[in-house]
Amino acid sequence: MYTIPLQFSDVIYNAANQTFEALVTVHDRSGARRYACAISAPIEMEFEEAAKGLSTQAMRRHGRGDLGSILKFSRTHANGQGPQADAIPQDHPQAA
């Protein structure tokens, strides 16, 4: 069984809305995707319970294919001079 790792960032309690909010990153075989999640809860809720609720929401959204930020990691050239996407083929008119 494959376990999908989750990463929490910017976890806060929004007292005005009475919600725990976090940016949850879901890492799976296709990459990583971030979701802004919020759950209604009293401030006295244990962090573990809040994290469980935020995790459930992120996984539900991930499974449905909801909008989220896709994280792309750039690879560098063998010579370490930047992302491959910036490379211009040697035979291209701008390569000079």
Place of tokens 């995790």: 55
CA distance 24 to 40: 16
User: pTM (2 decimals)?
Assistant: 0.65
**pLDDT band (50, 70, 90) for residue 76:** very low
C-beta of residue 38 within 8 angstroms of C-beta of residue 58: no
**pLDDT band (50, 70, 90) for residue 68:** low
